[in-house]
Amino acid sequence: MFSGNNPHKDVEVSSPPDDTVSALEFSPPSVPQTFLAAGSWDCQVRCWEVEASGKTVPKAAQNMTGPILDVAWHDDGSKIFMASTDKSVKCWDLASNTAVQVAAHDGPVQTCHWVKAPNYTCLMTASWDKTLKFWDTRSAVPIMAIHLSERCYCADVDYPMAAVGLADRGVCLYSLEGKPAEVKRVESPLKYQHRCIAIFKDKKTKQPTGFALGSVEGRVAIQYVNPTNPKDNFTFKCHRSAGTTGGYQDIYAVNDIAFHPVHGTLATVGSDGSFSFWDKDARTKLKSFESLEQSLTNCAFNHSGQIFAYAMGYDWSKGHEHYNPAKKNFIYLRPCFEDLKPRST
């Protein structure tokens, strides 16, 4: 296997996609094995089984007619939803290895999330067509369509909360209880373009209570929906090079954020090719890692918090001129349970 650039000697996922990874998700706890799904700009979603030994076995792949922008697992682990620039979302039934369209937009679909409520399930999709739609996947007509003020750039769902980051730097929060409804629009705590968003839970109640928002300006905002104290909300800088050319600091985009499902600490991956672990309650960095050769575009934790996956590939941060289709793309896995333990305060 071509080992490429792997300074941390992490497990390299076999048969990686042929173009930059755009989405990375582990299978839900409802299935005993661990599967990893990755969507890519090569228009394909691939699925591997990750064995306990660290061996990754390619299982299947599905194509869409445009690059994939997001993937989501059905809560029972039997299906993968795939959102594409071809303006559709398809549902890939893994048993039959067939895919059918379940959603449509007027523009590329940036995000898709499966909503599992006690009394209903549905698929939430958000697009550059400035709409947020909810789908009963059996119907070609959405059960609800909400107009957004701008294109969706990122979204996350953690029942009963959904958060959508927009191109105009707005963040819209929704309650999914009973049925989706907008709760409020939050003015962005960040001054630059939103890139990624991840909901976190309250340590005690285990209920979604806020979100982390990453921007193109090497900064993450931690924002509580209802902070007890306004100072609970804060931002921190990350993914910046320490004074390079001529004393300048290069500031990179935060491409993805993921919260550890057990510890509540978070990981960020950046355009600078590095990933870092943070404790938002102790407001401290837990660990940072040397940069890889190319940008890191996505990251994910498996449901038990044992495995951290991150994808390396060109993210277009320097324009099309720096795109080299010959460069290989990689997905790496590393054990992470210990590294992400919170700093005891």
Burial of 262 (0-12, 13-18, 19+ CB in 10 A): middle
The rounded distance, in Å, linking the Cα atoms of 305 and 321 is 38
Spacing of C-alpha 111 from chain mean position: 9
Minimum Å gap between C-beta 104 and another protein is: 6
Closer Cβ to another protein, 121 or 233, answer by number:
121
> What tokens were used for 232?
């609970």
Stretch that binds another protein, among 113-121, 206-214, 259-267, 332-340 (CB under 8 A): 113-121
Residue 153 contacts another protein per CB under 8 A? yes
Residue 25 contacts another protein per CB under 8 A? no
Minimum Å gap between C-beta 58 and another protein is: 5
Residue type (1 letter), 277? F
Query: Quick check: 31 and 43 in contact, CB under 8 A?
Result: no
Q: Which 8-state DSSP code applies to residue 247?
A: G
Stretch that binds another protein, among 258-266, 279-287, 313-321, 329-337 (CB under 8 A): 313-321
Number of residues located near another protein, criterion CB under 8 A: 95
Residue 95 contacts another protein per CB under 8 A? yes
- Enumerate residues 289-308 that contact another protein by CB under 8 A: none
Residue 168 contacts another protein per CB under 8 A? yes
Q: In angstroms, what CA-CA distances link 87 with 25, 38, 58, 93, 287?
A: 21, 18, 27, 19, 38
- Enumerate residues 234-263 that contact another protein by CB under 8 A: 237, 240, 243, 246-253
Minimum Å gap between C-beta 266 and another protein is: 21
161 three-class SS: strand
Minimum Å gap between C-beta 201 and another protein is: 25
> What tokens were used for 338?
């210990």
Beta strands 88-93 and 208-215 are unpaired
Residue 284 contacts another protein per CB under 8 A? no
Residue 137 contacts another protein per CB under 8 A? yes
Closer Cβ to another protein, 6 or 78, answer by number:
78
| Candidate list 6, 175, 288, 317; residue touching another protein; CB under 8 A | 317
Query: Quick check: 44 and 29 in contact, CB under 8 A?
Result: no
How many C-beta atoms lie closer than 10 Å to residue 294's C-beta? 23
The rounded distance, in Å, linking the Cα atoms of 81 and 90 is 6
The rounded distance, in Å, linking the Cα atoms of 201 and 230 is 18
| Candidate list 143, 186, 225, 262; residue touching another protein; CB under 8 A | 143
Closer Cβ to another protein, 68 or 309, answer by number:
68
Residue 15 contacts another protein per CB under 8 A? yes
| Candidate list 7, 8, 51, 65; residue touching another protein; CB under 8 A | 65
Closer Cβ to another protein, 113 or 219, answer by number:
219
